[in-house]
Amino acid sequence: MPKNENIDAFWDIEDMLPKRTKKQVPHPVSADISATEISLTPSADTEQTASFRIPPRQERKENTAVPTIREYENPNGMIRHVCIRPWPTVFGFYEKFRKDALTYFNRTHEPCEYVYFFSYLPQYEQMTVSQMAYYVYWRSEIRKGIYIKSDLNYILLYAYEIINLPEKISPKQGAIILSRLWSAYRDDFRYLDKYIGEWLCDYCLLYDVSPDWDVLEHFIHDIAGKLSFPEFYLKDNCLPFGLISVISAYDYKKSKYYDQCQAAYDKHIPAAMERAAEQIIMKCPEAFGIIPLKLSRDSFSGAIACHAMKFKIEILRYTLRRTGEIKTLFANMIKLCENQIRAVYGIKSRFSPNGIDERLKDVILSYFDEQYPDRNIKKTKKEAAEEEAYMALYEPKQNGPADISRALAIEEEAWETAALLATEEEEEPVTETLTPPMPKPEKSPPPEENPFSFTFSEDSASGDFDFINDTLSEEQRKALAAALNGTFSTYCRSIGKMEETVRGEINEIAMEYIGDMLIESDFTIIEDYMEDIKHEIES
């Protein structure tokens, strides 16, 4: 209790608590800081151990050579060489799946009702009794070639079985089963394009087997651009347009004339491109900048695969996606194809594609000659009709039979008039100076011609009137705008130039870029180009 004389100390809690004795904690470090003298003179004890020396450290030699499990050449197609190497680390967390797969491999079940099954990584231990019963029944039907209702996870589980059990399912048969499984269910499960498309590639490369090409050919054109290694599916030097369109720098579906000519675009541009690629590019890919490059793949990435099925796959193959030149070449070839269809539909606007090998041009033009043999004949007839109408304006009027005597009299008068107008020119003396003839320059030997050589122009004209703002001068653009407004002659007089001179300058540039003139002889804009020119001038 607080003392009476200091009643306010009631609020001092510390006075009310019992006093505690302080613990004496020994200091861990000695307080003595005096210096100690150390003698470097060897003693008797140290003399005995002084003769022992630590052996020098030996450098550890690392074995950098990676063993090879399988290696083979593939002289055909885009793949040249394949080397299979072991997986660099050891793991065992998918060994249970392999044991379960061996346990359930021969099980069958009578027909039963479909049961939905979902799992992010499907395995046997995740399935209920009814799901397992349906899976075993479904699998037995697949083995018979009957493809009944399924879920994506049943399909993936069966694919995992094929990958992990090569001793039960031979690789040759496994590649065929994966191909048919993919084909049967891809319309219902588009994810299979990415999953089985990649795993089937690894499976075939690993065991040097072939997929079922007869089944894949029905949809291989659709998935070539979606896979990380599409060159595997390029069979018999066939380059599908699905891959060409992914590589190309130009998409014809974005053309402003696509809606008008959609059916012809979708049918003939892919067919012409595939023919040109197969006949010319794929027979000599190096000439087009397509060179072999090395690729390293992890087998069965994203799938359940035990350690015995994981490998590093090294491939030497021709690659298309990393070649910048082929990207520009494909774009220009597609534009050349589009020009042919525009000609059929009477569209005067044209592209000016550059850098296309003459052999590629011949193949593309021959294809469209087969499909539209009259496209150039129609153009010739139209031009002939226009020329005939134009020449009719200059034909002499016939007012009766010709008067020969009058014609001779007119001719005689003409000669007399010419004689009066002619003036004699004074002849100036000419001093001849004999100068030795200049030696002819030696002709340099022609460079070696590569039948597949080509050049590219990144600044090639688009053909859709971009040149109006990029190439025409400010004065020429104003003249073009005046022609749209019907004040061409007035504008030309205001700048002190003749109408024909300004018209000729503009038409000459237009012929270079779109292959046609813009201003008619009466100084009006050609009707087909009015909207395009108006759009460019107002933009």
CA dist 179 and 211 (Å) reads: 6
State how far the alpha carbon of 286 is from the alpha carbons of 249, 281, 283, 343, 458, in Å. 20, 9, 9, 33, 21
SS3 state of residue 294: strand
- Specify whether the CB–CB gap between 261 and 346 falls below 8 A: no
Position 229 pLDDT exceeds 60: yes
Beta carbons within 8 Å of 451's beta carbon, 6+ residues apart: 287, 357, 359
DSSP 325: H
- The dihedral through the CA atoms of 201, 203, 205, 208 has a sign that is negative
SS3 state of residue 190: coil
pLDDT value for 45 = 52
Position 323 pLDDT exceeds 50: yes
**Exposed, middle or buried, 445 (CB in 10 Å: 0-12/13-18/19+)?**
exposed
Q: What percent of the chain is modeled with pLDDT above 90?
A: 41
- Specify whether the CB–CB gap between 518 and 507 falls below 8 A: yes
pLDDT value for 14 = 65
pLDDT value for 350 = 85
Give the DSSP H/E element, type plus range, for residue 72: strand 70-73
As beta bridge partners, residue 298 has 312
pLDDT value for 164 = 97
pLDDT tens digits along 177-199: 999 999 999 999 988 999 999 99
The residue among 279, 461, 273 whose CA lies nearest residue 355 is 461
pLDDT value for 272 = 96
What pTM was computed for the model?
A: 0.58
Give the DSSP H/E element, type plus range, for residue 501: helix 499-514
- Would you state the structure tokens that stand for residue 332, as one six-digit string? 């220009």
Mean pLDDT is highest, among 288-297, 385-394, 435-444, for 288-297
82-86, 120-124, 159-163, 323-327: which range is least confident on average? 323-327
143-147, 471-475, 512-516: which range is least confident on average? 512-516
CA dist 398 and 167 (Å) reads: 99
- Specify whether the CB–CB gap between 287 and 352 falls below 8 A: no
**HEC sequence for 5-24:** HHHHHHHCHHHHCCCCCCCC
Mean pLDDT across the chain: 81
- The dihedral through the CA atoms of 192, 194, 197, 199 has a sign that is negative
pLDDT tens digits along 460-483: 334 467 778 878 888 998 998 999
pLDDT tens digits along 380-410: 555 566 666 666 666 666 566 667 777 778 8
- Specify whether the CB–CB gap between 247 and 329 falls below 8 A: no
Position 498 pLDDT exceeds 80: yes
226: region left, alpha or beta (phi > 0 left; psi from -120 to 50 alpha): alpha
- Specify whether the CB–CB gap between 280 and 452 falls below 8 A: yes
SS3 state of residue 292: strand
Mean pLDDT over residues 422-439, rounded?
43
**HEC sequence for 332-345:** HHHHHHHHHHHHHC
Domain boundaries, given as residue ranges, for the chain: 70-371, 467-538
DSSP 116-151: ----SS--GGG--HHHHHHHHHHHHHHHTT------
User: Using 50, 70 and 90 to split pLDDT, how confident is the model at 298?
Assistant: very high
CA dist 250 and 244 (Å) reads: 10
SS3 state of residue 230: helix
- Would you state the structure tokens that stand for residue 138, as one six-digit string? 């479904």
pLDDT value for 13 = 65
Query: How many Cβ atoms from other residues are within 10 Å of residue 56's Cβ?
Result: 6
Beta carbons within 8 Å of 142's beta carbon, 6+ residues apart: 158, 177, 181
Position 366 pLDDT exceeds 90: yes
Tokens 């795993």 correspond to 199
pLDDT value for 155 = 97
CA dist 486 and 301 (Å) reads: 68
Q: Strands 70-73 and 79-86: what pairing?
A: antiparallel
Mean pLDDT over residues 141-151, rounded?
96
For residue 207, how far is the Cα from the chain centroid?
A: 29
Position 2 pLDDT exceeds 80: no
Q: How many residues does the chain have?
A: 539
pLDDT tens digits along 26-51: 555 555 555 555 555 555 554 454 55
Mean pLDDT over residues 14-28, rounded?
63
Position 297 pLDDT exceeds 50: yes
State how far the alpha carbon of 8 is from the alpha carbons of 5, 111, 156, in Å. 9, 94, 84
Mean pLDDT over residues 411-434, rounded?
59
- Would you state the structure tokens that stand for residue 230, as one six-digit string? 């599409």
Q: What percent of the chain is modeled with pLDDT above 70?
A: 74
207: region left, alpha or beta (phi > 0 left; psi from -120 to 50 alpha): alpha
Position 417 pLDDT exceeds 50: yes
CA dist 169 and 181 (Å) reads: 15
The one-letter amino acid at 310: K
Position 434 pLDDT exceeds 60: no
The one-letter amino acid at 429: P
- Specify whether the CB–CB gap between 9 and 16 falls below 8 A: no
pLDDT tens digits along 54-96: 777 766 555 556 789 999 997 667 888 999 999 999 999 899 9
Position 287 pLDDT exceeds 50: yes
- Specify whether the CB–CB gap between 200 and 179 falls below 8 A: yes
Largest CA distance in the chain: 165
